Amino acid sequence: MKHVGSSVFPFAFALLLSFSWATWAHTHENFLQCMTLRSENSSSISKVIYTPANSSYSSVLQFSIQNTRFSTPATPKPLVIVTPSHVSHIQAAINCSQTHGMQIRVRSGGHDYEGLSYVSDVPFVLIDLINLRSISVDAENSTAWVEAGATTGEVYYRIAEKSKTLGFPAGLATTLGVGGHFSGGGYGTLLRKYGLAADNIIDAQLIDVKGRFLDRESMGEDLFWAIRGGGGASFGIIVAWKIKLVPVPSTVTVFTVNRNLEQNATKLVHRWQYVAAKLHEDLFFRISLTSVNSSQEGKKTIQASFLSLYLGVIDKLLPMMQESFPELGLMREDCIEMSWIESILYFAGFESLDVLLNRTSPTRSLFKAKSDYVQEPIPELGLEGIWQRFYEKEGETALMFLTPYGGRMSEISEDATPFPHRAGNIYKIFYGVFWEEEGTAASERYISWMRRLYSYMAPYVSKSPRAAYVNYRDLDIGSNGKGNTSYRRASIWGNKYFKNNFDRLVQVKTTVDPANFFKDEQSIPLFSSGWKKGGD
């Protein structure tokens, strides 16, 4: 009997597998038919749909994958990719996905750190917004309409075409898709002067679960609130944002000053914590920490790079720095005056303005990232413990950014948008570790190193909850799992990203998507039965 069972099982399993694939192949055919029937412009629909049988399928899928941990042969792939060129294509994809029981993932720039915008363990359709990227700048009224598939680089380029004294407070990376980036908050060098990208959104266009095209007025203030920092993917598909452009001076000043441990880096980083959030809001002054070769052969040291944008000229910056942070020893020759758009190139490491239109990131790699918020300065001994971990083999390719808060960030209330990390935070930490070795064993080694560093940092960062930034997606802090998750389970990660705003997000989600169609491993959940505020 035993012999018969062991030979029958693989056969039965293979039969089941082939049956399920046949079922999905049939569903996928029905989905394609449905798309043709439901699109207003059915003649063009074939040009925006890719299946694995299509020769361009793989290149379209790979094009916007920024974290190559999620582009392996084992990574689940979409049954269909839709690259809508018209709102009706999105409406059809939502309708047909619901009709045929398929999940959707929505990708604007592909920077989701856990690949949630283009990976799912259940059969799914990928809606890639790459074709919806028009940008219309109204310099006279200091506004712009930006479609969700546009990148931050494209936005900056189009603003600069119209004005040298307007900017926008979004990310330093120039290949970020604005659909996801703005909906999670989004920040850059103008953070302390103007807050987040989400703080400067004045209207939006969204397709909801019923396929309705909504703007701020028709979606209502609750939903408009939720998509500006709560992550748009839980509530519908963002089509476009109307943003408020902000004034920048015709001349700004940048500097980068590097100091290693032999040049007093530990004391400088320690001192920076007492200064950075209290500086004038025109001064953005961040630190990057990396492991580099020491002047002593065969040894490593830690390099702290002090990177700054000042909204003004050198002659005003130098006395400000001399008064507030003389320990750095900033010299006139360290500083460069330029236009604001040139500062975007400077921080991105580019020289030509045209590079801002390039959607391919020069830094694709395998990586794992995390985030933290610091409310009390870390003592020197605590910093030295970080250095020790950076000396480990995996730490050689790690990076930490310390981004100062204060200024405008302290003035905006915690519940103005879902993004709650405002007054009381000195700075935010980004942790990243990058590697080139392929294979599961290498990935596990580097991810394990990152988790050990994160664990070490626990005494020095925010508590109850230990806060995190939703755009630095991290499934280690909690996941919905499969199916409709409970409020209690989702609140584990939800309270870290959104704190007291999580409950309001749950209320909005339950109202606008009651069947929980827009879901992933960290999407906002629905009310559970018997749920009460602050409970299960």
User: How does pLDDT run across 488-526, given as a tens digit for each residue?
Assistant: 999 999 999 999 999 999 999 999 999 999 999 999 999
Q: Are 536 and 488 in contact (CB under 8 A)?
A: yes
Residues 84 and 90 sit within 8 Å (Cβ to Cβ): yes
Q: What is the predicted pLDDT for the residue at 16?
A: 43
CA dist., res. 315 & res. 332, Å (int): 9
Cβ within 8 Å of residue 212, ≥6 positions away: 218
CB atoms within 10 A of CB 338: 15
**Which stretches of the chain drop beneath a pLDDT of 70?**
1-26, 41-43, 483-484, 529-536
Q: Give me 308's structure tokens.
A: 């700054």
Secondary structure class of 514 (helix, strand, coil): coil
Q: What is the pLDDT of residue 296?
A: 85
- DSSP β-ladder status, 143-147 and 166-167: unpaired
Residue 44 near residue 85 (C-beta atoms within 8 A): yes
Q: Which residues contact 228 (CB under 8 A, 6 or more apart)?
A: 182, 183, 198, 199, 201, 204, 417, 418, 419
pLDDT of residue 391: 97
Instruction: Given CATH 3.40.50.2000, say whether it is the number of domain 135-247.
Output: no
**Options 405, 472, 487, 497, the catalytic residue:** 472
E strand or H helix at 369: strand 366-374
Helices (H), 400-464: 408-411, 440-457
Identify the CATH number of the domain defined by range 252-338+365-458. Answer: 3.40.462.20
pLDDT at 421: 98
Q: Do 25-128 and 135-247 come out as alike in CATH topology?
A: no
What residues have CB less than 8 Å from 81, skipping those under 6 apart? 49, 50, 51, 57, 60, 61, 125, 126, 128
Q: Who contacts 491 (Cβ-Cβ below 8 Å, separation ≥6)? A: 502
Task: State yes or no: is 472 an active-site residue.
Answer: yes
Q: Please, what sign has the CA dihedral across residues 308, 313, 315, 319?
A: negative
**CA distance to 3, 292, 293, 394, per residue, from 299 (Å):** 61, 9, 6, 15
- The answer to whether residues 406 and 279 touch, using CB atoms and an 8 Å cutoff, is yes
For 123-163, what is each residue's pLDDT tens digit? 999 999 999 999 999 999 999 999 999 999 999 999 999 99
- Compute the Cα dihedral for 337, 271, 497, 122 and give only its sign: positive
The answer to whether the beta carbons of residues 235 and 223 sit under 8 Å apart is yes
Q: Angle of helix 265-275 relative to helix 380-390, nearest 10 degrees?
A: 130
Structural domain 25-128, CATH architecture? 2-Layer Sandwich (3.30)
Secondary structure letter of residue 469 according to DSSP: -
pLDDT of residue 361: 74
pLDDT score for 24: 57
* All structural domains of the chain with their residue ranges: 25-128, 135-247, 252-338+365-458
d(CA 458, CA 460): 6
> What is the pTM for the complete model shown?
0.94
Would you give the DSSP letter of residue 528?
P
For 325-439, where are the alpha helices, taking DSSP H only?
340-348, 380-390, 408-411
User: Are the beta carbons of 414 and 500 closer than 8 angstroms?
Assistant: yes
Q: Hey, what amino acid is at 144?
A: A
